[in-house]
Structure 1
Amino acid sequence: MSNVKDHLDATRTQLLQEIDTLDDTAFNRKPDVQSWSVAQICHHLVLVEEATRKAIAWGLKAQENSTPARKNVQLILDRTKKIQAPSIVEPTEQPFTVQAMQDLLATTRKNLLAFLQTIEDPEVLAKRAVQHPALGELPLDQWIEMVYLHEQRHIEQLQEIVRE
């Protein structure tokens, strides 16, 4: 689990560095009508992290141990494959300040890590699965991995927006 925490920390540090230099106007600017702003990307990441925590909690409560098939979660990094965000994790159109978003990101990460600390037997995460919107039946430990991989995907996206 410590290796996963290292990946979560490194990716979040990179995300915070990317948005730290933006003013609130640039943070909320959409490249075009169809695209998300950097603020919306960050809000989406907050919503996904919260949904992930809930999915893992549900999976731990609801299911018997099994041997769910491992998925190639690295596929999420392929940005040529467009993935429609489920409505539950679609960001709001409301603007955010950079500081408010940094606070939200800190809160959801603190909540996720605190929750993961409560899992008495982390081995059980590989033995239970919950339906993932993009990948189907996904082992719970891979849901955690998806948090930082998904964040890496969107860091690339927001870097492109900032460069435009």
Structure 2
Amino acid sequence: MKKLTTTTICIVFMLTCMGQETISKIKRQKALNHLKQTQSDLQVLIKDLSDEQLEYKMDESSWSVAECLEHIAISEKNLIDMIKMSLNEDSDPSKRSEVAMSDDQILSLITSRDQKVKTRKEFEPTDSFGGYNNTWKTFQERRKANIKFLKTTQADLRNHYMQFPFGLIDTYQGVLFMSGHTKRHTDQIKEIIASNNFPQ
């Protein structure tokens, strides 16, 4: 009888844990949709570009389309690594009040092209993947893995945090930031394509 009671308690505990949502289904789906949409938008924009178009720069200080893509692929790993590192720390609901922005404000901040920001050295493109095709393949693999992470994680994404220059954000917002970062540089690629001397 004692064994049965213990087993029953364990089953109830497991079912309870399985039923818990660390983020709401709506929020999880919102981020998943954004990750998929920004990947799709980028693919549609660059899929038919020639080598000349991929390498074109508006001026000496500007990035090419290929360099923008490499930066996106690099960031895809660096940002998810930051998120996972934050999840290794203890969750802390008491810090919720220190979160600097809402989800929508995070997306608005990172996607806006009004203010240019110089990236950190570890995020700079250096032809690290050996050409455009490998870069695109790497980005796709990393985005696929990050979508899987978001689909399956049961981590408390709202009560783990990341410190950015503009303030504290939670790790769910870190995922939105990563996806919004793709849109930011997709818009940069649009600017390159729309420039007067872009190869036809």
- For normalisation by structure 1, the TM-score amounts to 0.88
Return the offset for 1:161: 0.6
Return the offset for 1:96: 5.8
Cα separation, 1, equivalents of 2:128 and 2:153: 35
Given that 2:129 and 2:135 are in contact with CA atoms closer than 8 Å, whether structure 1 keeps it comes out as no
Given that 1:53 and 1:115 are in contact with CA atoms closer than 8 Å, whether structure 2 keeps it comes out as no
Return the offset for 1:118: 4.5
Is residue 2:191 matched to residue 1:160?
Answer: yes
Cα separation, 2, equivalents of 1:155 and 1:69: 27
Aligned to 1:144: 175
Cα separation, 2, equivalents of 1:5 and 1:70: 23
Q: Residue 178 of structure 2 aligns to which amino acid in structure 1? A: V
- For normalisation by structure 2, the TM-score amounts to 0.73
* 1:106-156 CA distance string (max 9 Å, x none): 1111221233345224xx111111122x43322100110012211111111
- Given candidates 73, 83, 91, the residue that maps to 1:46 is 73
The number of aligned residues is: 161
- Given candidates 30, 48, 64, the residue that maps to 1:21 is 48
RMSD value over aligned CA atoms?
Answer: 1.9
Cα separation, 1, equivalents of 2:62 and 2:127: 11
Cα separation, 2, equivalents of 1:78 and 1:120: 31
Q: SS at the partner of 1:31?
A: coil
Unaligned runs of 5+ in 2: 1-27, 196-200
Return the offset for 1:53: 1.0
Is residue 2:36 matched to residue 1:4?
Answer: no
- Given candidates 78, 82, 104, the residue that maps to 2:112 is 78
Unaligned runs of 5+ in 1: none
Q: SS at the partner of 1:130?
A: strand
Cα separation, 2, equivalents of 1:90 and 1:3: 29
Q: SS at the partner of 1:8?
A: helix
Q: SS at the partner of 1:126?
A: coil
- Given candidates 100, 103, 109, the residue that maps to 2:137 is 103
Stretch deviating more after TM superposition (61-70 or 84-93): 61-70
Aligned to 2:126: 92
Q: Percent identity?
A: 25
Aligned to 2:24: none
* 1:71-90 CA distance string (max 9 Å, x none): 22112222121112111111
Given that 2:32 and 2:150 are in contact with CA atoms closer than 8 Å, whether structure 1 keeps it comes out as no
Cα separation, 2, equivalents of 1:127 and 1:104: 30
Aligned to 1:126: 158
Given that 2:71 and 2:125 are in contact with CA atoms closer than 8 Å, whether structure 1 keeps it comes out as yes
